[in-house]
Structure 1
Amino acid sequence: MTDLEKPPAGGTTSRRHAAALALLVYAGVRALGLAALAAWCAGTGKSPHTLLSARWDSLWYVRVAEHGYGWEVTLPDGSVHSNLAFFPLLPWLERLVAGVGPLGHADAGLVVSAVASLCAAGGIFAVADRLYGRRAGVCAVALWAVLPVGIVQSMAYSESLFTALAAWSLYAVLTGRWVTAGLLASFAGLTRPVGGAVVLALWAAAVVEVRRRGRIGARVALGALLAPLGAAAYVLWVGHRTGGGLFGYLDVQEGWGNGFDGGYAFARFIGDKFTSVPGALAGLGLIVGVALLIWLYVVGVRQRQPLPLLVYTGVVLVLALCAAGYFGSKPRLLMPAFPLLLPLAVALARRRTSRSVLVIGGVAVAGAVYGAFWLNGSGPP
């Protein structure tokens, strides 16, 4: 039995109780966020339901669910926004839920997101519990719930669905369930472009396993082969549909102004903030935020997080921070990088319960207020 396959200490019953507590904490934080949004909308006259299910990317997903691919918008500057930029798993699930019940596709998206967010919380707990114990597992889930942009977890967006698939795929890798890990990684690749992070994490773990054993096992090989199929199938299909071949999907993203430039555009965006005093404060905040993310990753390395987690988190970080495009999207693009929260979860788990509750509660209130303010303002693009 390998180190990845060793079962965690402790009884199954107490572990289930801890997992239930983690989900209860998560649901409570999300309920607080929704209550804050409803209260804020009561003052602005906006509909919280519309903000959650029928704005920004949610509209694009619903259109794919209702009419399929092929719709695009040409902007005054000549750029083309095509719905081929949106991966298909979320709209497929919206269509499935809407087809078996009375809900429309937008409300079906909220249902999918709600269920997926609970599954994501469960996966985060499973990973953290296995590595650092139950208290750290509960704290990790709570920290993911109270993120400043955590309200996105309750929207008809794909972040919750992707995080659920990624977390459980990583847990399957850690426990030696290679075929399950490959299947989940494949579905993650059908959810968001960053699905490649899950694939690379599985491949890195597979290489280590092969080197340790001196041979490649059938399940390891099958899991490694399954992992990229989802993303590869969609990207190749888009290339065929657009006539762009292997680069067809990149052409679609370029129409949206997205691309990978190694962080040059983001650095210029931060630098431009320093032309005024208010902007300089915002720019300084962005620098501190990026530095904090890098520091948390380094701490994870020092804490000897398993290689699959480090590879996954590193790829998510690089893709989020070094991509050109709308910079307001970066906080939610970083949301799936939940292993960054593990050092903080470990630190909280070592504190007395009363102190941990006080910290989580305070951040939850602040996050709920910010989420309500955010959605009533610029919101997640």
Structure 2
Amino acid sequence: MGMSALLDAPTPARRLSRPALAAALAASVVLWGVQLTVLTVWGGRHGQSLGDVLSQWDTQWMSRIALHGYAGWTEGGHPSQWQSIAFFPGYPVLLRIVSAPLVVFGVESATLLAGCLLSGVLAAAMVVGLVRLVGDGLDAVPPQTLIGRVVAVLFDGRGADRDADRDADRDGDGDADRDGDGRGTVARGAAPYADGRDGVAARVTAGTGEDGGPSPATATAVAALALGAPMSAVYWMPYSESLFGVCAVWCLVMLRRHRFLAAGVLAGVAGLTRLTAVALVVTLGLAALVETVRVILDRRAGAGAGSGVAGDGPGSSVTTPLTAWVATVVSAVPLALYIAWADGQAAPVGGYFGAQDSGWHSGFDGGRATMRWLRERTFVGPGDGGDVGYIIAGLSVIAVVLIVVASLWPLLRGALDWRLWLPAAMIAGIVVFSDGIMHSRPRLLIFPVLVLLLPWVAAGARRWRWAFTVPFVVAWCVLGFFVSGWLLVPFRWAI
């Protein structure tokens, strides 16, 4: 096995079985219905309709921008353009397109209705993407540790080559070796990946379905992980979380399959949705660097063997890193262009980041504001200035930090691909190490929670099937629906 095989091989694309797809979509619809029922009942007890509950806070910003543009309206008689530009245009533009027919025909609350339907569809598409990530396998391809990859690069792969060859000999000549968790490896003599690179062992993707992909139990658990999470109610509201989530998840699917341009376009759309898309841009850039190293090593190995380029021969195809670098640029341009435009529009308050600071005290501070919040608000009772919503926000930060730390174990073991871990950990870091509205933390940290818990949930469903899925769905959704309901109904501050 060549040393470049220890770098990031493309994940083999697998078809998602109909039972798994049906289970994921059915679970999404059921969770949507239960979530809205909970909010309807809870809101009714506090004199709020479902429309009142779903049209709070950022929903109003998204709806007004969709209807009037950034400068077409004022609030309280004061120009609010500098405040409105803090919200990226991706979701409002899409909301305007979807709501237009309803507005034309005079449907009551057309923008809110269109936003809820739009967000629901995007959330379901995100769930399908998460299930596809599980079907493709969440670990590195071929399975290896992060430390092993670094050592292989530093020492030119000599020791790694010997270890890989020894492992292949132990596995046998072309026979798949099943291990305890259902994964298999195919040793020497197996068919190469679709890109034709010899020496990269093919892999049987982890799964419990008849075709080796995710089973309905796994798909259901993944859907519940996403749509039953604390503060997952925003996936049914006219918020940007659903659009960012679907773009980010499918970007990672495409990136792991080495469909770099598709990944770049999706990351670019995410960059028109949320500032945290910078984590996707960084991940794409690092993936391009890894691809460059792989190609250099392939060519060096091919030259040493006297064959020109590694993989040269009938049926082979050698990729170049140019596409990966182009994809990185594509992913960064929309975000950069919007920030540049917003800087000009909000120049009186210091540009885009000045607007964030002036309106929401949002900005990177190394975590000082978060630590102060945890000390003053999280572990105090209501009589001491505390609030259940404050406690929820503080505990969510602590929980995510613990999840990130725990995720280092599967990362270093090679059970979690760094291309999944890095953007999730970066987004968590951006949120935790920044000032801003602290009670919005449960919402802003949803994506890291989904990605970093995905290996654990998928492993439980794969091993114990419905015996794991049923209690997990019930417990997780009870927690998630309580958090969503409390922060949207009794809690009086922004989420």
- Both structures adopt the same fold (TM-score exceeding 0.5): yes
Q: Please name the residue that 1:368 is paired with.
A: 481
Summarize deviations over 1:51-83 as a string: whole Å, max 9, x none: 21x21001011111111113566899xx99710
**One-letter code of the match for 2:430?**
L
- State how 1:99-114 maps to structure 2 within 5 Å: 99-101=100-102, 102=105, 103=107, 104-114=110-120
Give the secondary structure class of the aligned counterpart of 1:85: coil
1:236 aligns with 2:340: yes
Q: Please name the residue that 1:51 is paired with.
A: 53
Give the secondary structure class of the aligned counterpart of 1:45: coil
What is the CA distance between 1:41 and its match in structure 2? 2.2
Aligned pair in 2 of structure 1 residues 7, 60: CA closer, same or farther (>3 Å)? same
**One-letter code of the match for 1:130?**
D
Q: Please name the residue that 1:224 is paired with.
A: 328
Q: Please name the residue that 1:342 is paired with.
A: 454
Q: Please name the residue that 2:97 is paired with.
A: 96
Q: Is the 8 A contact 1:162 1:336 kept in 2?
A: no
- State how 1:67-78 maps to structure 2 within 5 Å: 67-70=68-71
What is the CA distance between 1:374 and its match in structure 2? 2.5
CA distance in 2, matches of 1:275, 1:168: 38
What is the CA distance between 1:217 and its match in structure 2? 3.4
Deviates more, 1:90-99 or 1:163-172: 90-99
Q: Please name the residue that 2:358 is paired with.
A: 255
What is the CA distance between 1:44 and its match in structure 2? 2.0
Deviates more, 1:86-95 or 1:199-208: 199-208
CA distance in 2, matches of 1:263, 1:339: 22
What is the CA distance between 1:161 and its match in structure 2? 0.8
Summarize deviations over 1:234-277 as a string: whole Å, max 9, x none: 101111223379x6211111112111101100101111137845
Q: Is the 8 A contact 2:126 2:246 kept in 1?
A: yes
- Which of 188, 196, 200 is matched with 2:270 structurally? 188
1:62 aligns with 2:63: yes
Percent of residue pairs identical: 28
1:124 aligns with 2:130: yes
Summarize deviations over 1:125-170 as a string: whole Å, max 9, x none: 1112211431455433321121121111111100011000000011
- State how 1:157-168 maps to structure 2 within 5 Å: 157-168=239-250
CA distance in 2, matches of 1:302, 1:15: 30
| Greater fraction helix | 1
Q: Please name the residue that 1:5 is paired with.
A: 10
- Which of 17, 20, 31 is matched with 1:18 structurally? 20
Give the secondary structure class of the aligned counterpart of 1:82: helix
- Which of 398, 402, 424 is matched with 1:292 structurally? 402
CA distance in 1, matches of 2:83, 2:481: 33
CA distance in 2, matches of 1:235, 1:225: 15
Aligned pair in 2 of structure 1 residues 198, 288: CA closer, same or farther (>3 Å)? closer
CA distance in 2, matches of 1:237, 1:177: 30
**One-letter code of the match for 2:18?**
R
Q: Is the 8 A contact 2:342 2:352 kept in 1?
A: yes
CA distance in 2, matches of 1:56, 1:197: 25
Q: Is the 8 A contact 2:81 2:346 kept in 1?
A: no
The structure with the largest alpha-carbon Rg is 2
Aligned pair in 2 of structure 1 residues 145, 200: CA closer, same or farther (>3 Å)? same
Q: Is the 8 A contact 1:114 1:154 kept in 2?
A: yes
Runs of 4+ in 1 over 6 A off after TM superposition: none
What is the CA distance between 1:286 and its match in structure 2? 5.6
What is the CA distance between 1:359 and its match in structure 2? 2.2
Q: Please name the residue that 2:467 is paired with.
A: 354
Deviates more, 1:256-265 or 1:16-25: 16-25
Give the secondary structure class of the aligned counterpart of 1:355: helix
Summarize deviations over 1:178-201 as a string: whole Å, max 9, x none: 111111110000001111111111
What is the CA distance between 1:229 and its match in structure 2? 1.4
Aligned pair in 2 of structure 1 residues 272, 127: CA closer, same or farther (>3 Å)? same
CA distance in 2, matches of 1:32, 1:38: 10
Q: Is the 8 A contact 1:329 1:380 kept in 2?
A: yes
Provide the alpha-carbon RMSD of the alignment.
2.9
Aligned pair in 2 of structure 1 residues 86, 288: CA closer, same or farther (>3 Å)? closer
CA distance in 2, matches of 1:202, 1:129: 21
Q: Please name the residue that 1:36 is paired with.
A: 38
**One-letter code of the match for 1:263?**
G
CA distance in 2, matches of 1:336, 1:351: 25
